[in-house]
Structure 1
Amino acid sequence: MDDQNKNLILAVVLSGIVLLAWTYFFPAPEPVTDPNAVVVTESATGGSVAVTPPSDTATFGATGETAEQVEDAPRIEIDTPRVIGSISLTGGRIDDLSLKDYKVELDGDEIVTLLSPVGTDAPYYATYGWAPGGALNIEDVPGANTLWTAPAGARLTVDSPVTLTWDNGKGLVFEREISIDADYLFTITQSVNNTSADTARLFAYGVVARHGTPEVSKYFVLHEGLVRLSDKELNEEKYKDIADFDFSDREAGRASIIQVEENGWTGFTDKNWMTTLVPAPGQSFTSVAKYVGNSDIYQVETRMPTVEVAPGSSTETTSYLFAGAKEWETIKHYEEDNGVYRFVDSIDWGWFWYFTKPIFRILHALNGLIGNMGWSIIVLTLIIKGIMFPLAYKSYVSMARMKELQPEMEKLKEAAGDDREKLQRGMMELYKKNKVNPASGCLPLLLQIPVFFSLYKVIFVTIELRHAPWIGWIRDLSAPDPSSILNLFGLLPFAAPDATSFLAIISLGVLPILLGISMWLQQKLNPAPTDPSQAMIMAWMPWVFMFMLGNFASGLVLYWIANNTITFTQQYLIMRSHGHKPDVFGNILRSLRLKKKDA
């Protein structure tokens, strides 16, 4: 490949990287909504009611209770095939939830805890209630600290919902029915019966509150924090950005308030888990995200339209709460069967979502057939290489011809001496005469870049690869290869260095070493660059990649090894079919003999 073509390709690649980086680190500013603005919603009587969002965070966020109040409150047990926990009758909060199918550590017994009550190290919970309007006061409606009642022996299971009741003593009786399916979806039905002589004006809300800033992964490719859909707009904000919404500073106008007309949801997402408020499909609501600075609470809310309940009448509203693992199949089920619009987009598919989504679907389907994610990755690699083969074929043919021209190129190099311009002219004439395009080898590599990043995203983000085994020592494809050359891959009686140790950089496992070897073998099939500096860079590249990818997820390294092996095989066979018989292993042995002789 001549310098002009190389520079052009390099410029295109670098420009794309700069554009992506600029878009990621310097996104276009979003319009800020004033939290003091009046929100107009439809009333039950057909007119419109102006509602100013309340400034009292205790109404929506449970900031006034003590740990003792929560700890001493009666609880209702939750027990389903996939989750276990309890509901506090203080506020009727869903604040104790663990996932039966997922362990914290691969070899441990502790299961993952998603939601925790006030008084624990990291309180995280969902609560519901009603906000007053008209002549009603805060004490007239149930809030975050209201003590509800429930039937004796009530227990929430898949087959038995529970109903909470609270009477305000002034003619309004509130009920909240909570049910749960076999996976992670709670259904919350809130109702109010007006037995008083006055019309009651109020609106229902749901809240997910998270006390303190949670620990998040330090990877720019992974989003953790706010995730919400507002009609057709997907919005993601990291915790540090949510803190800039400080709702206590009302004049700053930094609370993020969006009026959703038909479909939406809002919540907090971690790498593998999510807690999301989901109003009924087609329901208009106000989506709120804020940080309560004086209490250090991150909070999302869904506020339903204001309703007027006439004397002797009642009203109810139904919404959902997703609290569980971000399993693609489960979330897709809620999207298709429950009508939760674009719920699959709550999974962080990334910039290359048009590659990431289909790659994951194929991988998921293969795993369903094979039953092993490692072998599924290898089969997926075969499929990708098969799709790219027509383009790769031209590239390999061109490389075979360039390999055949290597002796003539060496003669040109000797004849040109230090005259690089003469060498370039001679090489261009040689390429033209033999109908060889040196740039054709770069296009397959460029096409592999988005595929590589997409697969990296799939392996790193999706929960389906968490703790997924392959063979032998590879028991978690989402984690680095646990073996280490420093203890001779387990033969010596001491453990490999911890991932946080400096020695972890050189503590290469079996898979990274195989990666370096596969890249080196593949390189031996290609013509060596005529420029000594470029030749040296290419010679070091396999071993640099070996160390760079040494601490990447095993599944990604496995893909790269499979890709290199298949590429080597394809290229070797195509070169032989065109009359060139590459003696890769013979060249390696001769090279080693020459080095030994020189030494």
Structure 2
Amino acid sequence: MQDDENKNLMLAMALSALVIIGWFLIFPPEQPEVIPPEKVVADGRGGANQSLGTQPDGSIVASAPAAGGTSVPVDTAETIGTRENALTKTNRIAIKTPRLDGSISLKGARIDDLHLTDYNVRLNDPSDKITLLSPTGGPKAYYALHGWTPYDSLTYNDVPHANTEWAVESGDIITEATPVTLKWENDKGLIFRRTISVDDNYMFNIEQSVENTTDEDVRLAPYGIIARQGEPETIGFYILHEGVVRASDGEIEEIDYDDMPDEAIDPRENAAVSAVDVEANGWIGFTDKYWMTTLIPNTGQAFNSVSKYSANSDTYQTDARLPSMVIPAGATQGITTSLFAGAKEYEIIKDYERNANVDSFIDSIDWGWFFFLTKPIFLVLHLLNNLIGNMGIAIIGLTLLIKALLFPLAYKSYVSMARMKELQPEMEKLKEKHGEDKQAMQKGVLALYKEKKVNPAAGCLPILLQIPIFFSLYKVIFVTIEMYHAPFIGWIHDLSAPDPSSFLNMFGLFPWGTPEVGTIFAFFSIGVYPILMGITMWLQQKLNPAPTDKTQAQIFAWLPWVFMFMLGQFAAGLVLYWVANNTITFIQQYTIMRSQGVKPDILGNIFKRFKKEEAESK
């Protein structure tokens, strides 16, 4: 009975994994319907009741209440052309550093054009770099905007906003050594300045100041915004988070894009809003698999951390809304915040956490539920990759190291399986004796276990303890950016992409090409490593006791080949991990079974089975 329960559990786990993987491959998440922006006439003030407004140039402005109940405007103009065309619509200041290339728009002083020069879109093709930020007026606008919320008698037009045309006061290009200062003056005696600088990696500093030349105090509240128009393209795999990520006094929260519209609707903003009051340390932004943009107030700075989705403009937005400040008459007040826009490289992010006091910044990497396992596993993988210089070999080395550490647990499991394997002929005799009498069969099995002093559940606990560890290893390999365009050996030039070989052209022997990744035909275009994974999974399966139920036995017999096709389009690094894990497991289990007096003859058993089936057919 216990044996049947264990087989049912294993069957359920295998089928569940199969269903999950198949669902995400065949039915990727649907893109939401894009709702055209509604042009609602606003009163022009920064009051709490403002929702959407039409600006003089015709662009749509979505508003979000900031600290104190007033509002923050964000330009979400409807897409009108290509990205290149949108860049020509505004005057710009270039950004040029060793790792970044792009520009800021003088309209709104938006950071809305950014490329990551260390990362190519296509392998070995430096002509097309990863695009992180894009301007409004083009497809998939994605940008950062900073400004001030007006209070008291000041109105929307009395402060710089999304459509303000800034003038350059100093500097002509933003580099790691040369900042740029912008200036804008209203007609009420307020002079606004914004100095934008960037380091030699991915961190921008935005210094905002207000000079009050009037004879009265004024009150304003600074803010920062990251906006994305339209739902971004995501991988959509269940073990990876893509969407909002924020830290609030040490607490990390993740919100998927498809969950943002489900937040409570705030009528003041006409949007679905999730807000958190941060007392001292925090940040908020958007994360993709490898890239991220994040608003970071200074350490010790209280602020209102907001994520929201506006259905009217189909805009996803994160805000860092700081408390209002009083600028005395004749004085100048300012504040500096930071913006991270770049790749989620462990060393860089850890350095910002350690030396720039960005609290919990390392947790912007998606470590998952088992973070207490994924973090140390990643550190070992990171160290091995630095020592060896090849991520594929580092993956094999890490798998070998973890299998060695878990060998004492594995030993107990494999000994139990060896004893069960040894009882297999006796089980077959019981099956022939009792036929379809399941109750008599169960009694006979239990008596056999008692006679031979075998506990079928003895190997379950060690296996269950290993599952979180190997899931964590899988997670680490899936999310680490060090896999991106990393070569292995032979034909594997990018461990983050599927194995490019294919049995459809006999692995390059025939002159025709292979189906493109993402097409239905690519599902059948499996390479060498997925085939090796299927074979090693099958070999490992042959060392385990076969299910007594014929249906279960048939399902288990097909699983290696089904998984071979299912995982065939996964990243080569992940498939390499499965091949290494299956191979090491097979060697360990085979050796232990031999030490227990069990001599598995896998090929011999296959021939025997064929002969038996042939004899029965005659």
TMscore range, shorter length = 0.7 to 0.9
CA shift for structure 1 position 307: 0.9
Query: Are the structure 2 counterparts of residues 401 and 248 from structure 1 closer, same or farther at C-alpha, using a change threshold of 3 Å?
Result: closer
Which range moves more in the overlay, 437-446 or 268-277? Answer: 437-446
Aligned to 1:41: none
Aligned to 1:46: none
1:98-137 equivalent positions in 2, closer than 5 A: 98-108=115-125, 109-137=127-155
Aligned to 2:70: 54
Query: Are the structure 2 counterparts of residues 484 and 311 from structure 1 closer, same or farther at C-alpha, using a change threshold of 3 Å?
Result: same
Identity level (%):
56
Aligned to 1:199: 217
- Residue identity in the other structure for 1:432: K
Take 2:442 and 2:589, find their aligned partners in 1: how far apart are those partners? 26
1:332-411 equivalent positions in 2, closer than 5 A: 332-411=350-429
Aligned to 1:329: 347
Take 1:371 and 1:75, find their aligned partners in 2: how far apart are those partners? 40
- Residue identity in the other structure for 2:423: L
Q: Is the 8 A contact 2:108 2:164 kept in 1?
A: yes
Take 2:9 and 2:353, find their aligned partners in 1: how far apart are those partners? 42
- Residue identity in the other structure for 2:122: E
CA shift for structure 1 position 397: 1.5
Query: Are the structure 2 counterparts of residues 298 and 253 from structure 1 closer, same or farther at C-alpha, using a change threshold of 3 Å?
Result: closer
Take 1:401 and 1:370, find their aligned partners in 2: how far apart are those partners? 40
Q: Is the 8 A contact 1:61 1:299 kept in 2?
A: no
Which of the numbers 511, 517, 524 marks the counterpart of 1:506?
524
- SS of corresponding position for 1:394: helix
Which of the numbers 86, 89, 94 marks the counterpart of 2:111?
94
Residues 1:578 and 2:596 aligned together: yes
Q: Structure 1, residues 377-426: CA drift from partner, whole Å, max 9, x if none?
A: 11111122112211111121222223333333333333334433233223
TM-score (norm 2): 0.84
Query: Are the structure 2 counterparts of residues 488 and 255 from structure 1 closer, same or farther at C-alpha, using a change threshold of 3 Å?
Result: same
Take 2:261 and 2:432, find their aligned partners in 1: how far apart are those partners? 65
- Residue identity in the other structure for 2:216: D
CA shift for structure 1 position 455: 3.3
Aligned to 2:97: 80
Query: Are the structure 2 counterparts of residues 408 and 451 from structure 1 closer, same or farther at C-alpha, using a change threshold of 3 Å?
Result: same
Q: Is the 8 A contact 1:288 1:301 kept in 2?
A: yes
CA shift for structure 1 position 586: 3.5
1:543-554 equivalent positions in 2, closer than 5 A: 543-554=561-572
Take 1:346 and 1:478, find their aligned partners in 2: how far apart are those partners? 20
Q: Is the 8 A contact 1:2 1:424 kept in 2?
A: no
Q: Is the 8 A contact 1:65 1:145 kept in 2?
A: no
Q: Structure 1, residues 88-111: CA drift from partner, whole Å, max 9, x if none?
A: 222221111110011112243300
- Residue identity in the other structure for 2:138: T
Which of the numbers 296, 306, 326 marks the counterpart of 1:288?
306
- Residue identity in the other structure for 2:225: V
Query: Are the structure 2 counterparts of residues 172 and 325 from structure 1 closer, same or farther at C-alpha, using a change threshold of 3 Å?
Result: same
Q: Is the 8 A contact 1:231 1:261 kept in 2?
A: yes
Take 1:519 and 1:244, find their aligned partners in 2: how far apart are those partners? 41
Query: Are the structure 2 counterparts of residues 396 and 80 from structure 1 closer, same or farther at C-alpha, using a change threshold of 3 Å?
Result: same
Take 2:461 and 2:400, find their aligned partners in 1: how far apart are those partners? 19
Q: Is the 8 A contact 1:189 1:317 kept in 2?
A: yes
Query: Are the structure 2 counterparts of residues 251 and 406 from structure 1 closer, same or farther at C-alpha, using a change threshold of 3 Å?
Result: closer
Q: Is the 8 A contact 1:286 1:302 kept in 2?
A: yes
Aligned to 1:276: 294
Question: Which blocks of at least 5 consecutive residues in structure 1 are unaligned?
Answer: 26-34, 38-49
- SS of corresponding position for 2:178: coil
1:472-487 equivalent positions in 2, closer than 5 A: 472-487=490-505
Q: Structure 1, residues 31-74: CA drift from partner, whole Å, max 9, x if none?
A: xxxx969xxxxxxxxxxxx964334x5x3446599999974543
- SS of corresponding position for 1:315: strand
Q: Is the 8 A contact 1:262 1:283 kept in 2?
A: yes
Q: Is the 8 A contact 1:388 1:444 kept in 2?
A: no
Query: Are the structure 2 counterparts of residues 447 and 162 from structure 1 closer, same or farther at C-alpha, using a change threshold of 3 Å?
Result: same
Q: Is the 8 A contact 2:170 2:181 kept in 1?
A: no
Q: Structure 1, residues 465-517: CA drift from partner, whole Å, max 9, x if none?
A: 12222111112222222211111011111111223333323222111111111
Aligned to 2:35: none
Which of the numbers 523, 530, 533 marks the counterpart of 2:541?
523
Q: Is the 8 A contact 2:413 2:463 kept in 1?
A: no
Aligned to 1:311: 329
- Residue identity in the other structure for 2:341: A
Which of the numbers 585, 592, 597 marks the counterpart of 1:567?
585
Question: Which blocks of at least 5 consecutive residues in structure 2 are unaligned?
Answer: 21-28, 30-46, 50-65
Aligned to 1:6: 6
RMSD, aligned α-carbons: 3.2
- Residue identity in the other structure for 1:328: Y
CA shift for structure 1 position 315: 1.5
